[in-house]
Amino acid sequence: MKQILWFRRDLRVEDSALLHYANGEVLPIFIFDKNILDKLPKDDKRVTFIYDAVLKLKSDLQSLGLDLAIFYGYPKEIFSTLHNDFDEVLCSCDFDSYAIHRDKEIESILPMQRYYDSFLIHPSQGLKAEDTPYKVFTPFYKNLMPLWDCDKIEEYTVGTKIKLLNYKFPNIPTLKSLGFQTQALPQFLYQTAQEVLDVFIPKLSDYHKARDYFYMDGTSNLAVYLRFGLISPKQVFNRIKKYPNSEFFIRELFWREFYSYILYHFPQSEFENFNGKDIVWKENKEHFKAWCEGKTGVAIIDAAMQHLNNTGMMHNRLRMIVASFLTKNLFLPWRWGEKYFALKLLDYEASSNIGSWQWGASTGADSVPYFRVFNPYTQSAKFDKEGLFIKSVLSELKESEPKLFHKENALQSDMFLHYPPLIVNIKQSRQEAIEAFK
């Protein structure tokens, strides 16, 4: 048996389904996919992160007596040149529309064995008694309590019957040859996933409170590592589960599972309102541009968006605030926001991003009620009273009184500031959105 081990979003050797189930002569590969890369800006930070992670994977495989062939091109063309020498492909699953289309193309060339090690459960599990999927998180979560109640989920071990195929490896493409520039990353991303986890574990006792305060470093910072598989969710679960007060974080892991589950069972939700509501959104491109650039006149929105543009990062509480502002106050399509986040977020995960945007827009599975509209001023006052996050991003507001950040038109009324004018009235736009949803 000669197998291709196609690493994609599972860039690790620990708890690897591919290395566990491989049997015979193998060729581990990674493809820098032109279908994806050609759509990205040349300063995309994710490419720098993935590039470094792929080189680390190559080194880790070499320590096991294996190696990694690194290709740059279109997967269909690459497999067309490989297929005569192999019997099958082993790979990890993905369920967004592009991944499904890509895998169908490859399966027409070589048989594929798919494994699901980027999540805790396969979406075909966790169904109701009548074998239909849940549409609400809490009963889905409760249905998986046997998983939550267990002490440990068994992790994959490296198989003993695998041998590296004798193969002429292609030259490793440089980041420049891929068409990208090396980018500076947030400091924590220069650590290993296990090191980041080690830093987070002492914070578990306060996580249920600290996670909402975006000026604090109370989150796990694991999302990017989970997205690209530098650590598996089972590894995270098994480490975290041992500690008191871990349930709040485990619940967040299950939200990630839930959104993958929803996309699997309802693939049309990638493009359509999950709940079928026919909403006539506005299409004000000037307002969308102001939102993207962080020039809305609302300090917390502007700081969140400029921070995203500069770093590729955004705290979950801030994601909810800016999503509510876009879909409820500006009444712009959630798909516009989802696409922009897909372009900018370092931890972009299709299922979680789509699910979260539909949640914020009140169109998704178990989404926020349409009449619940986040007031950005209330949110900034509650979770950043002293304006520490806002001041860290918006240098022009460093000397401003924090109370000005939490009141509509207060910044615009300060004669010493030239802050962008408000592009929408918060109270009026909220009421208009509620009436439209009714």
User: Tens of pLDDT along 417-428?
Assistant: 999 999 999 999
User: Tens of pLDDT along 346-402?
Assistant: 999 999 999 999 999 999 999 999 999 999 999 999 999 999 999 999 999 999 999
Domain contains 14 = yes
Whether residue 364 sits in one domain with residue 297: yes
pLDDT at 320: 97
Checking if the pLDDT of 156 tops 90, the result is yes
pLDDT at 146: 84
Backbone angles phi, psi at 24, to 5 degrees: 110, -150
Backbone angles phi, psi at 227, to 5 degrees: -60, -45
pLDDT at 145: 85
Whether residue 418 sits in one domain with residue 293: yes
Whether residue 295 sits in one domain with residue 244: no
pLDDT at 370: 93
Distance, CA of 357 to CA of 342 (rounded, Å): 11
User: Tens of pLDDT along 164-222?
Assistant: 999 999 999 999 999 999 999 999 999 999 999 999 999 999 999 999 999 998 899 99
Total structural domains within the chain:
3
Q: Find, among 285, 200, 272, 279, the residue nearest to 243 by Cα.
A: 200
Whether residue 296 sits in one domain with residue 226: no
Whether residue 408 sits in one domain with residue 357: yes
Checking if the pLDDT of 278 tops 90, the result is yes
Domain contains 276 = no
147 — pLDDT class (breaks 50, 70, 90): confident
Which of 265, 293, 315 terminates a domain? The answer is 265
Domain contains 105 = yes
Domain contains 100 = yes
Q: How many CB atoms lie within 10 A of CB 409?
A: 14
Domain contains 168 = no
| HSE-up (13 A, CA, CB side) for residue 293 | 11
pLDDT at 149: 83
Indicate the helix (H) or strand (E) that contains 415: none
Distance, CA of 70 to CA of 98 (rounded, Å): 21
Domain contains 112 = yes
Whether residue 17 sits in one domain with residue 97: yes
Whether residue 85 sits in one domain with residue 128: no
Whether residue 293 sits in one domain with residue 253: no
Q: What is the mean pLDDT of residues 223-228?
A: 97
Whether residue 326 sits in one domain with residue 430: yes
Q: What is the mean pLDDT of residues 128-145?
A: 95
Residue keyed to tokens 């609400």: 136
As given in the structure block, the two tokens for residue 14 are 């620990």
Return the CATH number at 136.
1.25.40.80
Whether residue 81 sits in one domain with residue 147: no
Mean pLDDT, the chain, as a whole number?
A: 96
Q: Which amino acid is at 329?
A: N
pLDDT at 387: 97
The answer to whether the CB of 123 falls within 8 A of the CB of 261 is: yes
As given in the structure block, the two tokens for residue 157 are 């071990």
Domain contains 173 = no
Whether residue 134 sits in one domain with residue 68: no
Work out the burial of residue 408: count CB atoms within 10 Å of its CB; fewer than 13 is exposed, 13-18 middle, 19 or more buried.
Answer: middle
Return the CATH number at 30.
3.40.50.620
User: Tens of pLDDT along 233-249?
Assistant: 999 999 999 998 899 99
Exposure letters 218-229 (e unless 16+ CB within 10 A, then b): bbbbbbbbbbbb
Question: What's the pTM value of the predicted model, to 2 decimals?
Answer: 0.95
Whether residue 247 sits in one domain with residue 137: yes
- The residue segments making up the domain with residue 16 are 2-117
Distance, CA of 397 to CA of 415 (rounded, Å): 13
